[in-house]
Structure 1
């Protein structure tokens, strides 16, 4: 039996499904939609707004890529935002990961867009930026997985080691938004398939270039990690991000398939191309401690999607819409700047949105309101990305050397972040 409250909530979202279909044509890639009224009942999920969404005239960024602003009035006050619509039906249009030259590093989205040659971009995943463990500075690396150019860059930290608002029911740090080899965008989940092959058998690995390892785990660190300390991966626990660093650790350096060194403490510094570093804690440390210099060791790993096909690009973000429905458990009441990526049912229309907040002209949104907003644009599946001062949307004309920040970052200026989603158009 459905309660009255749940029935009303379901009715609102059923109305939004119909509304979203109409809005897809209204705010399509090449269509102008200066004023799209929203029925109050249909948009009840966005705090019963008294007005509708008003869109600016479309600004063509490149073939298949359009930017526009939007405004709406909610019971909290006025909210404004920015939307990049991406038409993947155009064979020259694609998506790729925006990232610094190391996993454990941060950079501004505008810099990444300009350096990598994208025409638009938004900030990506939450990241390790605001804590210090055992005197070790934050790594600045992202919470969730990263795939770039089909290459596996990093895996996800344990759920309790993440940054960001409460996860909705049925989601985890392994969830991603990405682009498959079939040219369709989708929301999925990634697993790490990895092992160490020794003369005595095979050892499962639990991490790849991530700032936190599960208790008892073993992680692989490559040149993609960068120069940051590898102590932080042994800190915290499976139940608390703030738990102390483990007292049982081990680090093994493997060069050209042969164990080169074994140390009791993780180190720092650049990792050469021909080298991988293994970091273990608790039981993982005990296993690595059995290795000796000169032992042959093969390291295999890859990120595998729970569905098909494989990803060309993926970035971490927790789902807020799934199959056209909002997820349960999005009860964060905070109003904040928000960033989201959503995709249509056929995987060919992508919506990258930023809602401004913490400024006089825009109060921001809750996560639940963001889900409703993305659904109204035409998204069937969508993820919440890092918000607050990280929320950034930029565009760049193909002939321009620099990107333009389109939103109003709540810090007063653009913040450096761990990664982002880039829109690329081939000549």
Structure 2
């Protein structure tokens, strides 16, 4: 095969790939842009085209294609010729008649495809959001690995990892908060005033390795976990340990020497493993409990968990106050991958963007390249959401991008735009 015929075949493959991703009608493509508008990806001579579609008043979807030749499969991670395919959902709260929120489907623990989450929530469009348990715990794959706030309810606490960068949206005021958050929680017996710290919210408790085969966890001498569960999680995790179900007043409904139950809408439960199993039984033996759960932003201010507040977790802040703040790094996470970005512009617009990757039709971006894209899109503050095979954008419940896997991956939650 001659070089010319290889180039022709690669161009045909690129055209086919872009046709698959371009499932939505767009306005005629423009092939020329001011230099400052172009994405800072690859060689400066690359052709770049953009097409825009108005989805609703104040809501636009822009598709950017940079580069024209498909990448050789063995050069996806190194080529300076691209191509790159970027989809940008721009929401202008000053004009839009809806709002951005986070949604997770019927229950928190399972996973759903982003296209299904958009449909189920009645949203116009959306992207995948939080990092989630996925294959680490196949019983509860949708469990967020970090912050999860839905309609003002804190259902997943932030981690202590330096990399976590959270996005909080107030759907009532359209204010957006980004950065690391911290959490503390405890339960207190009103009668005895005995207190017990909480380790997690809606995460399966870990049994100490030394007591893994011990059915009666109250006999374990090693520290375990104490976890608060809400009915939104779905059936609570089963296994060794103790579980105490509380009514809406915090009073004990039932106690079990094993974990696993289905909660009524007005109930919560506490699960404990290790030596905390006995401590939980002791603190709930008489009297009712008060639960404390405090979320704090990176400035040390308490976040008011009011109705209409939504929050998801990301990994690494991309932009802060107009400056690129991605730390140096190496390894697979920092290499080229599909990416999902959320951020805000100086004029208050909220942008949700996907960068397709791991394909000859779009190679993806490193963390540094992702930050450069965020800056070029005009974002002054931005976070890197879950990416890789999770990166998905959906409009009207239909794929707007081309996920990297053989099919769309089911995810833990999504950021969606819902018309009021």
**If the TM-score is normalised by the length of the shorter chain, which range does it land in?**
0.7 to 0.9
1:189 aligns with 2:184: no
Per the alignment, do residues 381 and 127 of structure 1 end up closer, same or farther by CA in structure 2, a change over 3 Å counting?
Answer: same
Q: State the partner residue of 1:326.
A: 325
Moved more, 213-222 or 184-193: 213-222
Q: State the partner residue of 1:279.
A: 271
Alpha-carbon distance in structure 1 between the residues aligned to 2:407 and 2:105: 19
What TM-score do the two structures reach when normalised by structure 1?
A: 0.74
Check the 8 A contact 2:201/2:229 in 1, yes or no: yes
Check the 8 A contact 1:152/1:302 in 2, yes or no: no
Q: State the partner residue of 1:80.
A: 85
Moved more, 256-265 or 198-207: 256-265
Q: State the partner residue of 1:407.
A: 401
Check the 8 A contact 2:338/2:364 in 1, yes or no: yes
Moved more, 91-100 or 302-311: 302-311
Structure 2: state its 5+ residue gaps.
Answer: 1-26, 68-78, 208-222
Alpha-carbon distance in structure 1 between the residues aligned to 2:419 and 2:391: 23
Check the 8 A contact 1:55/1:70 in 2, yes or no: yes
Q: State the partner residue of 2:32.
A: 35
Alpha-carbon distance in structure 2 between the residues aligned to 1:293 and 1:370: 53
Per the alignment, do residues 137 and 116 of structure 1 end up closer, same or farther by CA in structure 2, a change over 3 Å counting?
Answer: closer
Per the alignment, do residues 212 and 182 of structure 1 end up closer, same or farther by CA in structure 2, a change over 3 Å counting?
Answer: farther
Check the 8 A contact 1:108/1:415 in 2, yes or no: yes
Check the 8 A contact 1:97/1:313 in 2, yes or no: yes
Per the alignment, do residues 90 and 148 of structure 1 end up closer, same or farther by CA in structure 2, a change over 3 Å counting?
Answer: farther
Indicate the SS of the match to 1:77: coil
Check the 8 A contact 2:151/2:310 in 1, yes or no: yes
Structure 1 residue 200: deviation in Å?
2.2
Q: State the partner residue of 1:178.
A: 168
Per the alignment, do residues 52 and 351 of structure 1 end up closer, same or farther by CA in structure 2, a change over 3 Å counting?
Answer: farther
Q: CA RMSD in A?
A: 3.1
Indicate the SS of the match to 2:372: helix
Matches within 5 A, 1:338-357: 338-345=339-346, 348-357=348-357
Per the alignment, do residues 36 and 371 of structure 1 end up closer, same or farther by CA in structure 2, a change over 3 Å counting?
Answer: same
What TM-score do the two structures reach when normalised by structure 2?
A: 0.75
Per the alignment, do residues 186 and 115 of structure 1 end up closer, same or farther by CA in structure 2, a change over 3 Å counting?
Answer: same
Check the 8 A contact 1:179/1:185 in 2, yes or no: yes
Check the 8 A contact 2:326/2:367 in 1, yes or no: no
Indicate the SS of the match to 1:368: helix
Per the alignment, do residues 329 and 279 of structure 1 end up closer, same or farther by CA in structure 2, a change over 3 Å counting?
Answer: farther
Q: State the partner residue of 1:235.
A: none
Structure 1 residue 290: deviation in Å?
1.7
Q: State the partner residue of 1:3.
A: none
Check the 8 A contact 2:169/2:177 in 1, yes or no: yes
Q: State the partner residue of 1:70.
A: 64
Alpha-carbon distance in structure 1 between the residues aligned to 2:281 and 2:42: 56
Per the alignment, do residues 286 and 320 of structure 1 end up closer, same or farther by CA in structure 2, a change over 3 Å counting?
Answer: farther
1:200 aligns with 2:202: no
Q: State the partner residue of 2:10.
A: none
Moved more, 257-266 or 269-278: 257-266
Structure 1 residue 123: deviation in Å?
0.3
Structure 1 residue 82: deviation in Å?
0.8
Q: State the partner residue of 1:291.
A: 283
Check the 8 A contact 2:226/2:272 in 1, yes or no: yes
Structure 1 residue 294: deviation in Å?
4.8
2:132 to 92, 106, 127: 127
Q: State the partner residue of 1:221.
A: 229
Q: State the partner residue of 2:242.
A: 250
Check the 8 A contact 2:205/2:226 in 1, yes or no: no
Per the alignment, do residues 36 and 295 of structure 1 end up closer, same or farther by CA in structure 2, a change over 3 Å counting?
Answer: same
Check the 8 A contact 2:129/2:415 in 1, yes or no: yes
1:387 aligns with 2:419: no
1:152 to 130, 151, 154: 154
Structure 1 residue 218: deviation in Å?
2.0
Matches within 5 A, 1:295-314: 295-306=287-298, 310=304, 312-314=309-311
1:115 aligns with 2:120: yes
Per the alignment, do residues 333 and 254 of structure 1 end up closer, same or farther by CA in structure 2, a change over 3 Å counting?
Answer: closer
Q: State the partner residue of 2:71.
A: none
Structure 1 residue 293: deviation in Å?
4.7
Structure 1 residue 61: deviation in Å?
0.5
Look at both structures and tell me which one has the larger radius of gyration over its CA atoms.
Answer: 2
Q: State the partner residue of 1:14.
A: none
Alpha-carbon distance in structure 1 between the residues aligned to 2:416 and 2:233: 21
Q: State the partner residue of 2:211.
A: none
